[in-house]
């Protein structure tokens, strides 16, 4: 069964600092990996996804993530945090075999301090 | 705006009651997914429909059921409600049958069972 572990339920950074949100996955088959963001009182919005090909994936709002098969990781980064990045971030996995469901991590709440 | 609509936005009801949550997918999307988000369980996949047919099932209780209509909107029915059913219920849609495609999430229905 697939699973996702997000290290750190809360991460706090200063405005302008590097954002690093960690995600490790477990999958018996090559996975599809996703990062979603949830702003307060809103639904989830897709930031980026990895399916096949280039392991460094660029998403919206300056975020990127790197798929590292050997480390079973898909960490999300942004070089310089902005106040508007404050939200909850979810890593998710689905398998290439056609399993439709997304398995989500518990989420990481990002706080950006001025 | 993801293009996925959910009604109602908020629902407050008593234990033992039955409620229906409604979802309209993005124009052209054939797949509809239902997820439950709660503080203790996080985001969990409930069920998926594709073009009117049940496609995949997750951690959906027997008291819960769903369907997708010919116009592709979907309804999630929750019966014999318990306090623990209080959660945010998200609908998502995608054009693809599998998890390869991005899932677009609606704003959610917040259910409070008293």
- Spatial separation of the C-alpha atoms in residues B34 and B93, rounded to whole Å: 9
Using the Cβ of B97 and the Cβ atoms of chain A, whether some distance falls under 8 Å is answered with: yes
pLDDT > 70 fraction of chain A, expressed in percent and rounded: 95
The pLDDT tens digits for B39-69 are 888 999 999 999 999 988 888 999 999 999 9
Using the Cβ of B25 and the Cβ atoms of chain A, whether some distance falls under 8 Å is answered with: no
Mean of the pLDDT values across residues A96-112? 83
The pLDDT tens digits for B83-107 are 999 999 999 998 866 556 688 999 9
Least CB-CB distance to A32: which of B44, B100, B105?
B100
Contacts of residue B34, Cβ cutoff 8 Å, sequence gap at least 6: B23, B45, B46, B47, B48, B60, B66, B74, B76, B89, B90, B91, B92
| Shortest alpha-carbon distance between residue B109 and chain A (Å) | 10
Residues 52-91 of A with CB under 8 A from B: 90
The answer to whether the beta carbons of residues A52 and A64 sit under 8 Å apart is no
What pLDDT does residue B22 have?
98
pLDDT averaged over every residue in chain B: 92
Do residue B4 and residue A103 have CB atoms under 8 angstroms apart?
A: no
What pLDDT does residue A27 have?
80
Mean of the pLDDT values across residues B70-78? 97
Chosen from B7, B21, B43 to mutate, greatest number of chain A CBs within 10 A: B43
What pLDDT does residue B103 have?
87
Mean of the pLDDT values across residues B32-42? 92
Question: Is residue A30 over pLDDT 90?
Answer: no
Least CB-CB distance to B56: which of A34, A46, A99?
A99
The pLDDT tens digits for A64-73 are 999 999 999 9
Structure-model confidence comparison of residues A99 and B66, the more confident one: B66
- Residue B42: list chain A partners with CB under 8 A: 104-107
Question: Is residue A97 over pLDDT 80?
Answer: no
């Amino acid at each position: 069964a697939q699973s996702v572990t997000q290290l750190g339920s809360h991460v706090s950074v200063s405005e302008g600092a590097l954002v690093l949100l960690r995600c490790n996955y477990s999958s018996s088959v090559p996975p599809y990996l996703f990062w979603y963001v949830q702003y307060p009182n809103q639904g989830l919005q897709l930031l980026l996804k990895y399916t096949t090909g280039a392991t460094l994936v660029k998403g919206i709002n300056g975020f990127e993530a790197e798929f590292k098969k050997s480390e079973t990781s898909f960490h999300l980064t942004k070089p310089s945090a902005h106040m508007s990045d404050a939200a909850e971030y979810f890593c998710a996995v689905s398998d290439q075999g056609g399993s439709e469901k997304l398995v989500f991590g518990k989420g990481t709440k990002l706080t950006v301090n001025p | 705006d993801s293009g996925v609509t959910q009604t109602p936005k908020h629902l407050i009801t008593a234990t033992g009651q039955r409620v229906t949550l409604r979802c309209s997918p993005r124009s052209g999307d054939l797949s509809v997914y239902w997820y439950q988000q709660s503080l203790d369980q996080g985001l969990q996949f409930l069920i998926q429909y594709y073009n009117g047919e049940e496609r995949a099932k997750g951690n959906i209780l027997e008291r819960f059921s769903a369907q997708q209509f010919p116009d592709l909107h979907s309804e999630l029915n929750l019966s014999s409600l318990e306090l623990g059913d209080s959660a945010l219920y998200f609908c998502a849609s995608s054009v693809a049958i599998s998890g390869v495609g991005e899932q677009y999430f609606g704003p959610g229905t917040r259910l409070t069972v008293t």
